[in-house]
């Protein structure tokens, strides 16, 4: 069934820094290029590829520092997304890990939410979020009270979604737990065309990459590599940078932000990517695999849906320094086939993702029209 004659809109939380959620938005834009995009704020200097998109932003767009510190403005997000007017649309697709799914649509409009996760800081991550982030005690107390209110809004706003798509089986479980709603799993993608194999010999270093935030557990990698005296290169920037540099030993190198080509080269050269965090899914391991690079991952979260033991990587069982050290030592005794690693990553390429998303929207629209004509 063609959706060409329908008015479709896309909604996301924010477009301020490149990441997995932003890549999903780009894919949705490619599937529905005429669909306008609604978001709280957009930074074209850091998020590329939307030059031809019609983008509607909120009043936060003009506030200094908002694009760099969106978390400061979290109390405004429910109001922001409820204020957007979707009266003229047949289908709205929200990509949400915060408040984007809380939009209000008319009864005839089909609302499909691609859920990256129910809000970490409102649900199972709420206690750790307040504990880990630097803020004074007064703000922490106020924050705890606000998160309680946000949690109630988040639960109620989930009922505004007609169909949920979960980005992993872990997120599917969380949607059922916190929203009491069923969902369909469609995994995010890796842009395999941007990554390739190389004949270069792998060098004597391990790699870690991502936003430098506390929950990603870069501290665990650093402490393990400090004790083992192995070389580690860290790609990324974030709020934890200062503390991570403080604990890093002489074998640790911080590279900051790197472009896609440099990241591809690092994946091709590294012994392995170390991935110690619990992610809802995790795109970075797939990017490493698309470059033939094996992954040492914590056996939890989205990693168990992409890492196959002794085929494209291996797991460590506990989120502790000793457990990771044992995995690194075990890895040194193993060999991996880079061609086989890349082949397995192709199951998660963009073409498959776009095909599944389009098929899902078409199927649900047919069903929706039937219910609207009864």
pLDDT tens-digit series, residues 275-330: 999 988 888 999 999 999 999 999 998 899 999 999 999 999 999 999 999 999 99
Distance (Å, whole) CA 208 – CA 160: 38
Show the domains of the chain with their CATH numbers.
Answer: 8-189+349-373 (3.40.50), 193-348 (3.40.50.2000)
pLDDT of amino acid 138? 44
Contacting residues for 92 by C-beta, under 8 A, at least 6 apart: 8, 9, 10, 11, 86, 103, 105, 109, 110, 111, 112
SS3 state of residue 171:
helix
Write down the pLDDT at residue 80.
96
| DSSP helix/strand/coil, 128 | helix
Of residues 126 and 3, the one with the higher pLDDT is: 3
pLDDT tens readout for residues 123-177:
775 555 555 555 545 444 545 667 888 999 999 999 999 999 999 999 999 999 9
pTM of the model: 0.84
Q: What are the structure tokens assigned to 152, written together?
A: 């109630």
Average pLDDT over residues 245-274: 95
pLDDT of residue 78: 95
324/47 Cα distance (integer angstroms): 34
**Vertex 253: Cα angle to 297 and 48 (nearest 5):** 75
Q: What is the pLDDT of residues 204-215, one digit of tens each?
A: 999 999 989 888
Nearest residue to 253 (alpha-carbon basis) of 265, 272, 235, 267: 235
**Across 61-85, average pLDDT:** 88
CB of 295 within 8 A of CB of 270? no
Which pLDDT value is given to residue 202? 94
Placement of tokens 């000793």 in the chain: 322
Given a contact cutoff of 8 angstroms between Cβ atoms, the answer to whether 8 and 92 are in contact is yes
Share of the chain above pLDDT 90, in %: 74
Cα 154 to Cα 163: distance, rounded to the nearest angstrom: 16
Give the Cα separation of 144 and 150 in Å (integer): 10
What is the pLDDT at residue 304?
Answer: 93
Distance CA 22, CA 50 (A): 11
Task: Tell me what pLDDT residue 209 has.
Answer: 96
**Best CA proximity match to 275, nearest among 328, 237, 339, 329:** 328
């Amino acid at each position: 069934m063609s959706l060409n004659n329908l008015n479709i809109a896309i909604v996301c939380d924010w477009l301020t820094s490149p990441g997995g959620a932003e890549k999903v938005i780009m894919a949705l834009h490619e599937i529905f290029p005429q669909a306008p995009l609604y978001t709280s704020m957009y930074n074209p200097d850091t998020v590329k590829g939307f030059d031809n998109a019609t983008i509607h932003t909120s009043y936060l767009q003009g506030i200094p520092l908002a694009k760099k510190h969106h978390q400061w403005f979290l109390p405004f997000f429910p109001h922001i997304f409820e204020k957007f007017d979707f009266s003229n649309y047949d289908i709205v697709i929200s990509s949400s890990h915060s408040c984007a799914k809380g939009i209000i649509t008319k009864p005839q409009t089909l609302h499909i939410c691609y859920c990256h996760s129910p809000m970490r800081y409102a649900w199972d991550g709420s206690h750790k979020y307040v504990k880990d982030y630097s803020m004074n005690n007064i703000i922490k107390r106020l924050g705890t009270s606000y998160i309680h209110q946000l949690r109630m809004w988040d639960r109620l706003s989930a009922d505004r979604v007609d169909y949920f798509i979960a980005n992993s089986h872990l997120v599917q479980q969380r949607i059922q737990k916190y929203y009491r709603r069923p969902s369909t799993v469609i995994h995010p993608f890796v842009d395999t065309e941007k990554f390739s194999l190389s004949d270069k010999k792998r060098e004597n270093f391990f790699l870690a990459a991502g936003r430098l935030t506390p929950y990603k557990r870069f501290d665990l990698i650093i402490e393990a590599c400090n004790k083992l005296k192995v070389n580690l290169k860290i790609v990324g920037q974030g709020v934890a940078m200062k503390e991570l540099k403080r604990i890093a030993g002489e074998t640790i190198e911080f590279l900051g932000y790197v472009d896609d080509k440099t990241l591809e080269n690092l994946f091709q050269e590294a012994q392995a990517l170390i991935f110690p965090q619990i992610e809802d899914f995790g795109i970075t391991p797939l990017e490493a695999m698309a470059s033939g690079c094996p992954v040492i991952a914590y056996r939890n979260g989205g990693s168990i849906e992409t890492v196959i033991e002794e085929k494209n990587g291996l797991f460590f069982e506990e989120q502790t320094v000793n457990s990771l050290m044992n995995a690194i030592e075990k890895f040194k005794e193993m060999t991996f086939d880079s061609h086989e690693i890349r082949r397995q990553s192709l199951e998660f390429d963009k073409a498959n993702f776009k095909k599944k998303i389009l098929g899902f929207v078409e199927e649900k629209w047919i069903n929706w029209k039937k219910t609207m004509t009864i």
